[in-house]
Amino acid sequence: MIPELSAARRAAFEAGRARPVGTESVPLSEAPGRALATEVRALVELPPFDNAAMDGWVVGGAGPWRLGARIPTGAGTSGSVLREGEARAISTGAPVPPGTTAVLRREDGEERGRTLHQLGGEPLPEGRHIRRRGEETGRGDVVCAAGATATPPVVALLAAAGLDEVTVRRPLPVELVVTGDEVVDSGVPGPGKVRDAFSTSLPSVLESWGARVVTRRLAADDPGALGTSPAPLLVTTGGTSRGSGDAVGRGIRAAGRLLVDGIAAHPGRPVLLAERPDGGLHLALPGNPLAALLALVVLGPPLLAGAHGQPIPVLGSADVRGRLENDRPTARLLPVHTEPEVRPVPWTGSAMLRGLAMAQGVAVVPPGGAAVGDRVDLLPLPW
């Protein structure tokens, strides 16, 4: 029985998790987009010292206050004590001296000669507009869990926490093979030929999920032409159905252990995921362009997440504002606009690319379709 999408995604996730990639230490500048291999602990407290949360003045006790020298940004934290009735100008982030009651915001105060006056309002509560040392995190606290993606904000946090490098999962090496006697790799295709649409597009998609395409080539419609792969993940396109010309599917079924034998959705139904005799994986995508890309969007993210020690990606969802048709007994993977509402794009045949090129997501439309007010799952697009 062909698995539903959730079961197929789970099988791909488990296949990846059973084959974890290695780790390496990289500078923080090379970490964005990578999966953290270990939990990360702060090397310093955040903030590392009491500091001003606003531009203004540090004040001691109640006003008005006698003005002292300005506290420059970058000043040390061992300055003189601020005494009762004193004030000093300060910038956001500068250290507040011992004895500070609060920070008076620039817009709430006025200097008159050598005296600072508060402009209206209630007396300042103690600690107002002061960031206290360690209030965000203490030294040694876990700031990122293993498996988290090093997004730009995560990398900024790690830098603030004192890290210069971090241990991440290595990219999963992939060999990409585009099959088909009719496929040409450049120029305008002649009669009976089609242009290779995958060698230039799939690598960036795979790399956005943590893979690295190490080799790519064209191959004839012959299972023997695939041979063995030096990469732990072999991705092929074409020949996955059960027709007389679908040599890839025949070869996989004869030589490998099938983990996913198609998905209960279209386009993309004849996708295959198998364990190769050498223990690696073979992800065989259909030959039609839209079907291949949608099948990859279904199985690629969970497979790569599993290999990188991350949780299985969660699908999005959205309310339907216009009828989404599906007259088939299995789910329909429908490229859609998502803003300002979910609505189908034109040109969504399995051999078409034009619709997917303008889509913002892929709706999983159940058999019978979806009506206004229904909620459908959304497969995110990595581009």
pLDDT per position as a tens digit, 242-300? 665 567 777 788 776 899 999 999 999 999 999 998 899 999 999 889 999 999 999 99
The two counts, helices (H) then strands (E), for the chain are 7, 26
In order of their start, the domains of the chain are 5-21+171-307 (3.40.980.10), 32-45+136-169 (3.90.105.10), 51-131 (2.170.190.11), 316-379 (2.40.340)
Task: Provide the pLDDT for residue 193.
Answer: 76
Q: Share the mean pLDDT of the chain.
A: 90
Digit-coded pLDDT (tens) for 197-206: 888 999 999 9
Distance CA 367, CA 283 (A): 26
Mean pLDDT of 349-378: 90
Percent of the chain with pLDDT over 70: 95
CA distances from 333 to 4, 259, 299, 339 (A): 12, 21, 13, 18
| Phi-psi map region of 120: left, alpha, beta (phi>0 left; psi -120 to 50 alpha) | left
Digit-coded pLDDT (tens) for 100-153: 999 999 999 999 999 999 998 788 899 999 999 999 999 999 999 999 999 999
Task: Provide the pLDDT for residue 343.
Answer: 86
Q: Which residue has the tokens 């999983």?
A: 364
pTM as predicted: 0.83
DSSP code for 106? G
Distance CA 150, CA 308 (A): 12
Distance CA 361, CA 366 (A): 16
Distance CA 42, CA 40 (A): 7
Question: Residue 225: is its pLDDT beyond 90?
Answer: no
- Which uninterrupted H or E stretch holds 292? helix 289-307
Residue 216: phi and psi, rounded to 5, are -145, 145
Q: Which residue has the tokens 């990398």?
A: 155
